[in-house]
Structure 1
């Protein structure tokens, strides 16, 4: 009997110790401003009360489930990255760069409530993995850190993007992330090796702005992204700036819906090519976009560029007419393209294709997977070279561009 009591006591003590050792600390809120580095720990909230800067040679790692609360309505903070930023969310537990819930009103649909992530030329690596960034894109002033540091456009009166990145020797990975409710461009990239994969971008740009804007000095794979209703283009691809290397983008298996219609002036409306950019464009699904893949006739793309196996759908005749190949609209090999409204309906699982083309309000109930019988199924091209099939090593982890699919668009059948 005594032995049993002693055994029970030891077991109870062991269980108690185990619970204490494995217990998760209650989430905390920490106010931050100024220079930051180190680790922001899992599940906690970091309330940003002024501009932030990651200094050259320093690293800020943000663990899964962290909320970065941009809560200064006067300063509208920018985050300047002169070192490295690793935002490492998971699918179940993303990192969130956000604002107080009470600020998320219809009036603030296009954000401008904080700045953005503004990297400098000494920023070696940036990862945005399973990260939500929302309600930013504030306008710069003479006092903005980015203006004082000569970054981005280095002028007052400019709305900043989600991320500006300029290091031609740097590495950038954006994967599994959601970008929404931003005032201007999503990503404005002027340098580096980059992978953009499996992201969702919507409700961006008031009077201008592209979801992903790439300039010279960049080599990028852009794949399996869903872009809904960017003000102008989902992808603006340019070699402007004359940095080395020449801009080269392989963009494949993206789904682009309702692009370009909210821009008050006419330019692009899905994918735009200019100024000798080299671009290989495969398996992209372009639904109800203002234009097909469009070039600047006065400064066109590199003649080595390739376009093939893209699908076009327009629910009305105006849209269909505006993606027909001509001197400005590129024709691709083996494209799936019709001449009448309703041709080649991609048969999305749950998206009403009659939705107004100017609509910018995204429903998370929509499902852009393809139903059986979709003309996008089995029409994809897989025998092309992507730039980072073997991967980019960033923060000691190898990130690979996803393998192309044999269907068109970002999603196959469920």
Structure 2
């Protein structure tokens, strides 16, 4: 009890400290935090829940769980939240319906896990290239949206999602009748995470995502700050690591992306929120993405389309099926791009550094050559020529891609000191900073780096 009281005092003190300069943002984040003092001691979760999952404890759920509007679910560090699902039916593939505030506060030394009961086996099978299991979709993922309006609560507000040093993986089981049919039609695969709340914040920092059946994360509106994460092996025959729609505003930086079925990062203003999709993508590293997408002309690294706008700087794109794709229906005058490092094993991939069906062209600060195998980025512990792309082979089924090419495995993607990407980044621009709160419940935005890619030679950037 004493510990919980101290926690409440700390939260209230934090709120007072922010109130002078960030009053508007606190409206988004603080109202439900006091309820996190309610310790959840049972190891089995079901129905409607709220409160705190306690440090270093393991919790299980085998049916849908819901956090109501105005309530909070907080995971202290070291929590394991285990979905008991078989992926066969919606009823046996539980989902987290997050209508309130979701906070997962893992640490670098003690991360959190939101996964399945057979996660260890699935990782082992993925390493053995049994991707049908790794990409099967074993549970329903986390869905963060406002609740449906009712007579007693006609204007539900929803909440923020704040995720730090957390592993989230293996979602994708088909949706059922309990899902909102406007974005999850019955029978369609669910994502590791879905977020849709234009007035709220999605903060994901220093976390790991793995093994989604389709999109890893989809955002249909919200203020986003996506910093220093690792995205691996998501999407069977389609799906992005991070797919943004109308109403999404913010920054994605220092993310390590390897083995997406389609694009690593996608921005599109598709939707009807009335707020233009405006996102900056800078200092990300993308490796071997896009080869499992079965639709013609799709699949690559960075994609801006359908009136989306933003800045694209300092990204490193290595052996992706397509490089930067900016379609003619994007908000082309407001899409700025430069200082991209490109590498291709084959001539076919080099010919698509800027997708031929887009309007992107070589920029002054790009590291780019039409010669295959030029400008090797010189990773510390990864041979970019291991997968011998003799043509642009997409689509290619996952089982033909060695695990080491579409997951981190033992790879080290930091740059050697003699890399051509060192010192070639653009630093004279400012992140959008749509999420302006800081501290334990806010975001830590890493500024644009002087080196291209997610890992900086001075040790900043991605910390995985």
TM range (shorter): 0.7 to 0.9
Query: Counterpart of 1:278?
Result: 309
Tell me how far 1:326 sits from its aligned partner: 5.0
Kindly name which structure, 1 or 2, has the bigger radius of gyration based on alpha carbons.
1
Query: Counterpart of 1:56?
Result: 69
Provide the C-alpha distance between the structure 2 equivalents of 1:374 and 1:92, rounded to a whole number of angstroms: 30
Provide the C-alpha distance between the structure 2 equivalents of 1:301 and 1:313, rounded to a whole number of angstroms: 27
* 1:315-330 paired onto structure 2 within 5 Å: 315-324=345-354, 326=356, 328=358, 330=360
2:326 to 268, 291, 295: 295
User: Is 2:121 the counterpart of 1:90?
Assistant: no
SS in 2 for 1:318: helix
Contact 1:213 1:237 in 2 (8 A): yes
Q: 1:89 to 1:111 in 2, by over 3 A?
A: farther
- Alignment deviations for residues 284-316 of structure 1 (CA, whole Å, 9 cap, x no partner): 00000111211233x233411100101110011
2:450 to 394, 403, 406: 406
- Alignment deviations for residues 230-276 of structure 1 (CA, whole Å, 9 cap, x no partner): 00001110011132321110110000011111112221311111111
Provide the C-alpha distance between the structure 1 equivalents of 2:222 and 2:292, rounded to a whole number of angstroms: 30
Q: 1:72 to 1:259 in 2, by over 3 A?
A: closer
Contact 2:184 2:190 in 1 (8 A): no
Contact 1:168 1:244 in 2 (8 A): no
User: Is 2:51 the counterpart of 1:38?
Assistant: yes
Count of equivalent residues = 381
Tell me how far 1:360 sits from its aligned partner: 6.4
Query: Counterpart of 2:26?
Result: none
SS in 1 for 2:243: strand
Which structure has the higher relative contact order (CA within 8 Å, separation 6+)? Answer: 2
User: Is 2:373 the counterpart of 1:342?
Assistant: yes
User: Is 2:198 the counterpart of 1:168?
Assistant: yes
Provide the C-alpha distance between the structure 1 equivalents of 2:337 and 2:230, rounded to a whole number of angstroms: 23
SS in 2 for 1:397: coil
SS in 2 for 1:219: strand
RMSD (CA atoms):
2.0
SS in 2 for 1:172: strand
Provide the C-alpha distance between the structure 1 equivalents of 2:331 and 2:427, rounded to a whole number of angstroms: 23
Contact 2:136 2:173 in 1 (8 A): yes
Contact 2:309 2:330 in 1 (8 A): no
Query: Counterpart of 2:134?
Result: 109
User: Is 2:170 the counterpart of 1:126?
Assistant: no
Query: Counterpart of 1:193?
Result: 223
* 1:200-211 paired onto structure 2 within 5 Å: 200-211=230-241
Provide the C-alpha distance between the structure 2 equivalents of 1:199 and 1:363, rounded to a whole number of angstroms: 12
Tell me how far 1:394 sits from its aligned partner: 7.1
Provide the C-alpha distance between the structure 2 equivalents of 1:192 and 1:360, rounded to a whole number of angstroms: 36
Contact 1:80 1:146 in 2 (8 A): no
User: Is 2:430 the counterpart of 1:385?
Assistant: yes
* 1:57-72 paired onto structure 2 within 5 Å: 57-72=70-85
Provide the C-alpha distance between the structure 2 equivalents of 1:119 and 1:309, rounded to a whole number of angstroms: 35
Tell me how far 1:67 sits from its aligned partner: 0.3
TM-score normalised by L of structure 1:
0.87
User: Is 2:399 the counterpart of 1:374?
Assistant: no
Contact 1:376 1:407 in 2 (8 A): yes
Q: 1:57 to 1:325 in 2, by over 3 A?
A: closer
Query: Counterpart of 1:365?
Result: 410
User: Which protein is richer in helix relative to its size?
Assistant: 2
Listed as ranges, the gaps of 5+ residues in structure 2 are: 1-40, 147-156, 390-395, 460-464
Provide the C-alpha distance between the structure 1 equivalents of 2:284 and 2:319, rounded to a whole number of angstroms: 14
Contact 1:162 1:185 in 2 (8 A): yes
Provide the C-alpha distance between the structure 1 equivalents of 2:175 and 2:300, rounded to a whole number of angstroms: 27
Provide the C-alpha distance between the structure 1 equivalents of 2:381 and 2:47, rounded to a whole number of angstroms: 45
Provide the C-alpha distance between the structure 2 equivalents of 1:114 and 1:259, rounded to a whole number of angstroms: 24
1:146 to 179, 195, 198: 179
Tell me how far 1:325 sits from its aligned partner: 6.7
User: Which protein is richer in strand relative to its size?
Assistant: 1
Provide the C-alpha distance between the structure 2 equivalents of 1:375 and 1:382, rounded to a whole number of angstroms: 17
Contact 1:118 1:146 in 2 (8 A): no
- Alignment deviations for residues 23-77 of structure 1 (CA, whole Å, 9 cap, x no partner): xxxxx87111111110000000111121011111110001100000111336111
Contact 1:312 1:336 in 2 (8 A): yes
Listed as ranges, the gaps of 5+ residues in structure 1 are: 1-27
Query: Counterpart of 1:354?
Result: 385
Query: Counterpart of 2:94?
Result: 77
Q: 1:208 to 1:335 in 2, by over 3 A?
A: same
Provide the C-alpha distance between the structure 1 equivalents of 2:139 and 2:243, rounded to a whole number of angstroms: 20
Provide the C-alpha distance between the structure 2 equivalents of 1:385 and 1:329, rounded to a whole number of angstroms: 25
